[in-house]
């Protein structure tokens, strides 16, 4: 049974401080030049590495620089461009549908509100949190991807089996001003040290603060 947020908070604060020191430039690894590009890149990043997405998007955006261009694209051509990211047919439908919705509902401009973002095809709460936090600097919640979900359980921040539940637990522990950083830092730490199969606890800067340290190797 996870500890209440009030009990976890002092340890969580120290963990966050140490991770900030370890990763002083914690921002999304998805390369983008504007909010639209970040929306599309984040949709493509589902079950795919950011590195792979970054190999695909320059060519994609060179041909379709904005939502108006992508909304009218030939799906077969787009599928060929995004195939390396996996689930390319579904992702093609999502990014073309998202672009079309941006043009039809928002004059081609990415909205800055959670309720409007999650109504776009292919955009869930995680993607919306990424866009709001990284493109607009708006604190709407904590980005919970597979890394954040895994680390929140390992570090004793959450016992939830769902991303939504883990986000609620993290929001209860950390102050709102830190929500964007929490997601970015846990993603980087999960990617670099606390991996799913072989966590390198002996190299972890928060090993002494983690209840799972040494139990997962």
Give the distance between the most distant pair of CA atoms in the chain: 54
Residue corresponding to tokens 């994609």: 60
For the segment 114-132, what is each residue's pLDDT rounded down to a tens digit?
999 999 999 999 999 999 9
Q: What is the CATH number of the domain that holds 117?
A: 1.10.340.30
Which domain, by its residues, includes 164? 5-26+141-209
Residue 91 bears catalytic tag = no
Q: Tell me, yes or no, whether 99 and 19 share the same domain.
A: no
Domain boundary among 97, 115, 136: 136
Q: Tell me, yes or no, whether 109 and 44 share the same domain.
A: yes
| Helices assigned H by DSSP within the chain | 5-22, 35-44, 50-63, 67-71, 75-82, 88-106, 114-117, 125-130, 136, 146-154, 163-173, 179-192
User: Which one of the listed residues 18, 50, 115, 126 is annotated catalytic?
Assistant: 126
User: Which one of the listed residues 18, 91, 145, 178 is annotated catalytic?
Assistant: 145
In a domain, 14, yes or no: yes
What are the distances in angstroms from CA 2 to CA 16, 51, 140? 19, 34, 24
Residue 208 bears catalytic tag = no
Asked if 17 contacts 117 with a C-beta cutoff of 8 angstroms, the reply is: no
Q: Tell me, yes or no, whether 16 and 95 share the same domain.
A: no
Side-chain half-sphere CA neighbours of 131 within 13 A:
29
In a domain, 146, yes or no: yes
For the segment 185-215, what is each residue's pLDDT rounded down to a tens digit?
999 999 999 999 999 999 999 999 999 998 7
Domain boundary among 136, 166, 190: 136
In a domain, 165, yes or no: yes
Domain boundary among 103, 118, 136: 136
Q: What is the CATH number of the domain that holds 164?
A: 1.10.1670.10
Q: With 60 as the cut, is the pLDDT of residue 95 above it?
A: yes
Q: Tell me, yes or no, whether 18 and 66 share the same domain.
A: no
The answer to whether the predicted template modeling score (pTM) of the entire model surpasses 0.85 is: yes
The pLDDT, as a whole number, for residue 10 is 97
Q: Per-residue confidence at 4, pLDDT binned at 50, 70, 90?
A: confident
Number of domains in the chain: 2
Quote the distance between the C-alpha of residue 188 and its chain's center: 11
Class of residue 126 by CB neighbours under 10 A (exposed 0-12, middle 13-18, buried 19+): buried
Q: Tell me, yes or no, whether 18 and 92 share the same domain.
A: no
């Amino acid at each position: 049974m996870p500890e209440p947020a009030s009990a976890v908070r002092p340890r969580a604060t120290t963990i966050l401080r140490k991770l900030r020191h370890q990763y002083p430039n914690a921002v999304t690894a998805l390369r983008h030049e504007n909010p639209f590009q970040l929306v599309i890149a984040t949709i493509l990043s589902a079950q795919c590495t950011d590195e792979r997405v970054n190999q695909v998007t320059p060519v994609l955006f060179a041909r379709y620089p904005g939502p108006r261009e992508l909304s009218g694209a030939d799906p077969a051509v787009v599928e060929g461009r995004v195939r390396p990211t996996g689930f390319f047919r579904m992702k093609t439908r999502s990014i073309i549908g998202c672009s079309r919705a941006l043009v039809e509902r928002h004059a081609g401009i990415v909205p800055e509100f959670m309720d409007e973002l999650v109504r776009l095809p292919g955009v869930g709460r995680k993607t919306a949190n990424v866009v709001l936090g990284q493109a607009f600097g708006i604190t709407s919640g904590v980005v919970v991807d597979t890394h954040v979900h895994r680390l929140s359980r390992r570090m004793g921040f959450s016992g939830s089996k769902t991303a939504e539940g883990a986000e609620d637990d993290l929001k209860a522990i950390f102050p709102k001003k830190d929500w964007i950083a929490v997601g970015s830092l846990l993603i980087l730490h999960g990617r670099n040290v606390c991996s799913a199969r072989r966590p390198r606890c002996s190299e972890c800067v928060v090993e002494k603060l983690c209840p799972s340290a040494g139990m997962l190797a």
